[in-house]
Structure 1
Amino acid sequence: MITRLARWMRGDEADTRLPWRIFWAAFLVRVLYITLAHTYRFRLTDEHFQFGWEAGRIARALATGHGYADPFGNSFAGHTGATAWLPPLYPLLIAGVFKLFGVYTAASAWVLLVINSALSAATVLAIWEIAVRCFSRRNAVWSAWLWALYPAAMQYAVRWIWEMTLTTAVFAWVIVLALRMRDVDRHSRYATESDSRLTLLWAIFGLMWGAIALSNSTLLLFLPVCGLWILIGTWGRPHALRNAVLGGLVFLASIAPWEARNFHVFDTFIPLRGNLGAELYMGNGPGSNGFLITYEHPNESPNQFRLYAELGEVRYVRMRGELAKAYIRAHPAHFVKDSLKRTYFFWFGVPSVSPWSVEIPRMLNFGFITLAGLMGLGLALHRRIPGAGMMAWAFLLLPISYYLVTAGARFRHPLEPLMTILGVYLFQSATPRYRDTKSESGMASPMAR
C-alpha cells in the first residue's frame, strides 16, 4: 500500500498528469482544513477587523455604496472618505464576495479562503515548471509536493484574508513566463516559443506585472531587472525591442485607471498606494525598535484616527512622512540599527509573545527554510544553473523596502516558492546519486528518485 502511494505521488517520466494531481491534492487539503478547523470564523472583536483588516474595511465601504474609502474605524466612527492606503486588487475581490455572500459573513470568509486556496494550489503548477526548466523532474516532484502539503506553505491561504497568496501566485507565474520567454529548459522538455507567441507573452508579462502592482507594489523593484533579463536573452529574436515596449505599454495601461482615479480624487500623484509616509513613521519614528509601532496606527490609536479623519489621508500621510524623515536624519545610527534588525526579521522571523514551546520551533523552521533556500541559490549560481541569476536578483531586491520600513513573516511569502525549489536542489545535490544512461540525459534512475 505504501509503495503504491509512493508511486502515485512520484509518477513516472511519461506521466504528464502528475502536476495536476498535486494541484488537486493541494487544493483539497486546504479546503478541508478551512472547513474542518473553522478558520473562516473570525473574531467578532472590533467589528471583524481581523477579517481582512484595512482591505476588509475598504471592501465593506465598496459593498455598502461608499466607494473605495474608510480603511479604519468601525460603524460608529463615521466615514473618513476616499483612500489609497492599499492598492485595489484584493479589496475589490473581497468587495465582490461581500456583494454575493454578505459583509463579514462566515460564508464570505469561507469563499475568500477557498479562493486563496485555489491560488496557493496554482502556485504548485508554477513551482513544477520552474523546477523542471531550471533543475530536474525529480526536483519538481519534491518541490511541488512540499508546497502542496507543508503546513507553513499553506498558512496564509487558509487563515489570512490578505493579498499574500494572490501576489505569490502571480509572482511565481511571472518567473515561469520569464523562463519560457528566455527558453530556459535544461532537458528540452518544452517547445521553443514562436516569434508571434513571444509577442503575446510580452503582453501577458505586462498584464501580470500590472496585477502585482495593484496587489503589492513593493515587488515592482524587481520588474526592471526581470524585463531586462528577458530582453537580453531574446535580443536576437525578431522585434525584440518592440515586444518589450509592448509589455511596458500593457503594464502602464493596466495601472492607468487606478492612477487616474487617485489623481482625480486627491488632486495629486499617488504611486499606487498612499500610506508610505505613515508606515515610515511607524517603523522609524520616536520609540521605534525594529518592530512596527502599532500603537501609533490610526486603527489602534484614537488620537491618530481623529488626526487622520481631520487632515484627510494625503495630508496625514505627508505629515507623518516628514516627521519620520526628520527623525531619521537626526538619528541615523538608530535607523541603521533598526534596518539591520528588520533584515534579520525578514529572513529569520519576527519574535512574538508565543510560549517558547511554540516560538522556538517556529523560528527554527523559518530560519531553516531561509538557510536552505539561500545555500541552494548559492550552489545554483556556482554551477551556473540557467535562471539562477534572475532568482538572485529577486532575493536581493524584493526585501529592500521591508528592511527600511517594516518587516513581517508574510512579506517573505512571494519568495518562498523559489526557496522551496532551491532548498530541494540543495539537499538533492548533497545526496549520493547513482547514474545510468538515462540519468545522464536528464532522466533520474530509479535509485535516484
Structure 2
Amino acid sequence: MFWVGFAARVIFLTAAHKYRIRIHLDHFEFGWEMGRVARALVTGYGYSDPFNGHSGPTAWVPPAYPLLLAGIFKLFGVYSTLSAWVALTVNSLFSAAIAPAVYEIAWRCFGRNARGLKVALWSGWLWALYPAAMQYAVHWIWEMSLTAFLFAWIFVMALRIRGVGETGAVEAGQTVNQTAGRWIVFGAGWGLIALSNSSLLLFLPACAIWMLWDVLRAGRIGLALRNAVLSGVVCIAVVSPWVVRNWYAFHAFVPLRSNFGAEMYEATLPANHGFPWAATLPMAETHPSFVRYRQLGELAYSKEQGVKANRQIKADPGLWVAHIVQRVYFFWFSVPHPIDHLFEEFLRVLNYGWISVASLLGLALAIRQRIPAAWLFFWAFALAPMIYYFVTVQARFRHPLEPLMTVLIVYLFQSAETRRQKVQA
C-alpha cells in the first residue's frame, strides 16, 4: 500500500507538473508563510519574516515544516523548481505512509477475521489511491500531510497501548502493553504534532485518559501516573526548544504560536461573514496594517488585534455565535470556494459533504455496535476541530481526521453489505 500510494503520488505530481509554482508575489505561493520563514532560515535571519520584507522574529506558524522546507532550500535552492518537486515528493512520502496506519487502525478496531481484514484492506487501498486522499500532498507545500501522518500514527500508538485488537492484552488489570517505551513514543509524537499543528492538542487529554482507562479501573494509579508523567515530560522536552527560542525572541512566554489575536480579529469582522477570504495581513509592505505589524512587532500587533476582536464580540455576541455555527457547518459539509463553474462547485461540495456524512454515520454505527475504540474516534472528531469553529476554517483543516474518516466510511458500507447478504440468505 505504501509503495503503490507513494509511486502514484510522485508520478502524478511529476506528470501534471505540480512542482511548477507561480512566481506571483515573489513566489509567495511556494509555501506561503511557511515558505517565507524557510527562506529566512536559509538566508540567516532565523525564524522571521513570514510575509513580504523583513518584519522581525515570528511564531506565526509552527516551526516543524518551515525547518523541513529550509533543509530542502539549503540542498536544492531557495524557491527553485527542484526544491518544489522535492518538497511535494516529501509530502507524498508522508501521505503514502498513512496507508499502513489506516490498515492497522481498521484491523485493530474491527478484528482480524474475514470481515475486519476486508475493512482494513479496503481502507488502506482507498487511502493509497483515492485522489481526494492525495490532493494536499501533490498540490500544497504546507504541513497537512506531515500533520496527518503524525496524527494517524499517534492514533495507532494509542490503540497499541490500550491493547485494542490483541487477545489477552488486558487480563485482570495486567496491561502488558503499558510499557514505558510506548509512552515515550506517544509523548514524542505529540510533541512533533504540537510543532506541526498545535490545534490538534485539544484531543491529547481525552486520548491519554482513554489509553489509561483500563489501568485506572484496575486501581493501578501508580502505573497510570508514571506513564502520564513520563509521556508529558517527553512531550515538553520536544517542544521546549521552541518555547525557549520564543522567550528570547519576544521576551515573553509564547508556548507555540503568536497569531491567535490577529486571526480572531479577522474572523469577527462583520464584512467577512465569519469566513475570511483574504490573508490575515496584506502583502503590500506599504499597507497601513503591515506597517503597524512591523512597527509594533508580531506579538504586540497580535495582542492589539485580539483586543479589537473582543470588542467586536461584546458588541454583537449573537453574530459571533451565528458565525461559530456557520463554521461548524463549513468544517464538515461545505467550505466556500471561489469556483466560477457551478457544476464543478456542486461536485466539490457533494464529495466533501458526502465524506463527512458517511464517516459520521460510520461512527454512530461503531458506537452502537460497541466497536473497540469507537469513543476514541468520537473524541477525535469532537475535539480536534474545536479551535477552528471559534477562529477560522478551511477544507485542509479536516485532513488530519480524514484517515479515520476513511476507516469509518468503509466500515459503514461493509456493514451494509454484510446485512444485505444476511437478509438475502
| TM-score, structure 1 as length reference | 0.88
Correspondent of 1:46 among 12, 25, 49:
25
Report what 2:34 is aligned to. 55
Distance 1:435 1:370, change over 3 A: closer
334, 357, 361: which one aligns with 1:371: 357
Pair 315,286 (structure 1): closer, same or farther in 2 beyond 3 Å:
farther
8 Å CA contact 1:84–1:273 kept in 2: the answer is yes
Q: Residue type of the partner of 1:126?
A: A
**Aligned-pair distance for 1:265?**
1.1
Structure 2 distance, partners of 1:295, 1:245, is 40
Partner of 1:175: 155
SS in 1 for 2:392: coil
Which AA in structure 2 matches 1:108? S
Q: Which residue of 2 aligns with 1:320?
A: 305
Q: Which residue of 1 aligns with 2:113?
A: none
Q: Which residue, out of 366, 380, 400, partners 1:414?
A: 400
- Are the equivalent residues in 1 in contact too, given 2:169–2:177 (CA < 8 A)? no
The answer on whether the counterparts of 2:38 and 2:69 sit within 8 Å (CA) in structure 1 is yes
1:41-440 superposed matches below 5 A? 41-73=20-52, 77=53, 79-135=54-110, 136-185=116-165, 188=167, 195=176, 198-235=179-216, 236=218, 239-294=223-278, 297-299=281-283, 302-354=287-339, 355-432=341-418
What is the CA deviation profile of residues 315-367 of structure 1, one whole-angstrom value per residue up to 9, with x for unaligned ones? 11000011011101111111111111111110012122211121000000000
CA distance in 1, matches of 2:185, 2:162: 15
Post-superposition offset of 1:296:
5.1
1:294 is paired with a residue whose SS is coil
Counterparts of 2:214 and 2:176, CA distance in 1: 13
Offset at residue 432 of structure 1 (A): 3.4
The 10-residue stretch of structure 1 (302-311 or 49-58) with the greater mean CA deviation from structure 2: 302-311
CA distance in 2 between partners of 1:163 and 1:281 (Å)? 24
User: Offset at 1:298?
Assistant: 3.6
Moved over 6 A (4+): 189-194
Q: Is the 8 A contact 1:285 1:328 kept in 2?
A: no
Amino acid at match of 2:105: I
SS of residue paired to 1:268: coil
Aligned-residue sequence identity (percent) comes to: 52
User: Following the alignment from structure 1 to structure 2, what is the Cα–Cα distance between the partners of residues 218 and 67?
Assistant: 24
CA contact (8 A) 1:262 1:270 kept: yes
Deviation of 1:234 (Å): 3.3
1:287 match: secondary structure? helix
- 2:40 maps to a residue whose letter is A
What amino acid does structure 2 have at the position aligned with 1:403?
Y
Deviates more, 1:337-346 or 1:94-103: 337-346
Q: CA deviation at 1:191?
A: 11
Structure 2 CA distance, aligned partners of 1:38 and 1:113?
11
Change (3 A) 1:242 1:197: closer
1:295 shift after superposition: 5.8
CA distance in 1, matches of 2:177, 2:394: 42
For 1:317, the aligned partner's letter is S
Q: Per the alignment, in what secondary structure is the counterpart of residue 306 of structure 2?
A: helix
- Cα offset, 1:87, TM superposition: 1.1
- In structure 2, the gaps of 5 or more residues are 111-115
Q: Secondary structure at the match of 1:234?
A: helix
Residue deviations 1:171-221 (CA, integer Å, cap 9, x gap): 0001100000000007x4999998587110000000000000000000000
Shift of 1:134: 0.3
1:364-399 deviation per Cα after TM superposition (whole angstroms, max 9, x unaligned): 000000000000000000111010001100100111
- Report SS of the residue matched to 2:20: coil
- Output the TM-score relative to the length of structure 2: 0.93
Q: Kindly provide the CA deviation profile for residues 45-82 of structure 1, in whole angstroms up to 9, marking residues without a partner as x.
A: 00110110000000000001111100001xxx3x1111
Which sits farther off after the overlay, 287-296 or 177-186?
A: 287-296
Is contact 2:191-2:239 (8 Å) kept? yes
Task: Give the Cα separation in 2 of the matches to 1:226 and 1:70.
Answer: 35
Cα distance in structure 2, aligned partners of 1:360 and 1:182? 42
Superposed CA RMSD = 2.2
How many aligned residue pairs are there?
412
